[in-house]
A and B are shown apart, each in its own frame.
Chain A
């Protein structure tokens, strides 16, 4: 089955700097890669996703890149702000016939004012 690894497990950056979180996956059939943000005591919420037919996607200060050959994808947050502090999860989904949505172990991001 699918195995998703996520690094680092914790990350601290100065406000205004960039943060990068990396994930690798094992199932070459995976074709959908969402990123979720979870604030303390709340549910995970989607912040950005990418499908296998594109290599990069941006939404304001957030971007995701995908390298299907190497089976890894990354989340980039630029100009970080205190409200970006949260736990971030990557996930991979293999599609019809193997419809698990498998999550990485999470990255606790702390923005230092």
Chain B
């Protein structure tokens, strides 16, 4: 049963600390999305990659957030320094070109981040 794996599932950290969230996309998927979910904002797109190349990260606060794909099996989202307003659930999703009728976007189980 192929699935997107995110680690850690939960993270509590102090304001100012660095946070790294990891995502293992489904093997063979070449598109990876990072979303942030809060009660007020729904599913907010932060960044996405196609074949490991960042295509758009305009939804991400550049001064503290960074997203990378070191290889095809790992995507990372880093916050440095973290702030209480970053508290949210961060989802990673992977898929293949939807307009070619290949597959849906599969979501990982999310990382619940709490910054105190």
A residues with a Cβ closer than 8 A to B are: 1, 31-32, 34, 36, 42-46, 49, 51, 89, 93, 95-96, 99-106
Pairwise interchain contact A32-B98, C-beta atoms closer than 8 A: yes
Contact of B25 with A by CB under 8 A: no
A32, A43, A101, A105: which contacts B110 (Cβ < 8 A)?
Answer: A43
Residues of A within 8 A of B107 (CB): 36, 43-45
B42, B43, B55, B106: which contacts A99 (Cβ < 8 A)?
Answer: B55
Residues of B within 8 A of A32 (CB): 98-99
Range class of the B interface residue count:
20 to 34
Residues of B within 8 A of A46 (CB): 104-106
Pairwise interchain contact A103-B105, C-beta atoms closer than 8 A: no
Residues of A within 8 A of B104 (CB): 34, 46, 49
Smallest distance from the beta carbon of A30 to chain B beta carbons, Å?
A: 10
> Which residue in chain B gives the minimum CB-CB distance to A46?
B104
Contact of B78 with A by CB under 8 A: no
A34 to B35, CA, bound (A): 16
Given contacts A100-B56, A106-B42, are A51 and B101 in contact (CB under 8 A)? Answer: yes
Smallest distance from the beta carbon of A97 to chain B beta carbons, Å?
A: 9
Pairwise interchain contact A103-B99, C-beta atoms closer than 8 A: no
Q: Assuming A101-B45, A101-B105, what are 15 further A-B pairs, CB within 8 angstroms?
A: A31-B99, A43-B108, A43-B110, A44-B43, A46-B104, A46-B106, A49-B104, A51-B99, A51-B101, A93-B99, A99-B31, A101-B48, A103-B43, A103-B45, A106-B43
Pairwise interchain contact B108-A95, C-beta atoms closer than 8 A: no
Pairwise interchain contact B98-A101, C-beta atoms closer than 8 A: yes
A-B contact pairs, 9 of them (CB 8 A): A1-B58, A43-B110, A44-B43, A46-B104, A93-B99, A101-B93, A101-B105, A103-B45, A105-B41
Smallest distance from the beta carbon of A104 to chain B beta carbons, Å?
A: 7
CB-defined interface of B84-116 with A at 8 Å, one 1/0 digit per residue? 000000010101011101001111111000000
